[in-house]
Amino acid sequence: MEPEVIQRFLESVGQKADVDLYLKLFRAQRKESFAIIVADAQIVRAALDPFHFDLRILAGLGLYPVVLVGLLDARDADRQAQHILEWLLEDEVPAQTIESGPDMPAGIYALVRETIEKNNIPIVSLDAAKDLDIESRFRLLHNLAIGLQTRKVVFLSTSTGL
């Protein structure tokens, strides 16, 4: 999808000045600090179509969020990451899966940065951290956010509420 088409669509549902302002703000940041999107297993199973469409729009605008799978339940996170990757690649949205390991090693930040610099969406799997408790996996998310210097973490779920 062409960036101009996406921008015109956004302008049709919001104020042009707002669209321009937020795109300017997001594009002025370092690419890897844009956002982390935490997708739970239900999103991958039941709502992947709208999620991948949103990722496609973001990539079309030059914004590449880190997609994190396996935070709440790390079982099958590698398979979920692969499923997201296949959907994105099918629509010609460049993406790459990245395994976190059980402790989110420091080298992962450089790998995520390299992936984003190549205009690819990084999909980070916490499958290797499945033996950790949920508090420890949230610590991995915290470390990832600190390492990428992002303040935007979006939690996606099919259930309602915050």
CATH of the domain at 149: 3.40.1160.10
Answer whether residue 34 is part of any domain: yes
pLDDT of 12 > 70? The answer is no
First CA to last CA distance, the chain: 31
Answer whether residue 122 is part of any domain: yes
Phi, psi of 159 (to 5 degrees): -85, 155
Answer whether residue 18 is part of any domain: no
The total number of structural domains in the chain stands at: 1
Give residue 80's pLDDT band: very low, low, confident or very high (50, 70, 90).
Answer: very high
CB 129 within 8 A of CB 141: no
| 74 residue type, one letter | A
Answer whether residue 5 is part of any domain: no
pLDDT of 74 > 80? The answer is yes
Task: Quote the pTM value.
Answer: 0.88
Give residue 112's pLDDT band: very low, low, confident or very high (50, 70, 90).
Answer: very high
Compute CA distances 79 → 69, 126, 128, 158, whole Å: 10, 11, 12, 19
pLDDT of 36 > 60? The answer is yes
Structural domain range at position 82 = 30-156
Answer whether residue 125 is part of any domain: yes
Answer whether residue 11 is part of any domain: no
Compute CA distances 135 → 90, 128, 129, whole Å: 35, 15, 11
Looking at every residue in the chain, the average pLDDT score rounds to 88
- The candidate with the shortest Cα–Cα distance to 82, out of 92, 73, 91, 69, is 69
More confident residue, 41 or 126: 126
pLDDT of 28 > 80? The answer is no
Compute CA distances 42 → 4, 116, 128, 157, whole Å: 32, 26, 19, 7
The residue whose two tokens read 């914004």 is 63
The pLDDT of 71-77, averaged and rounded, is 93
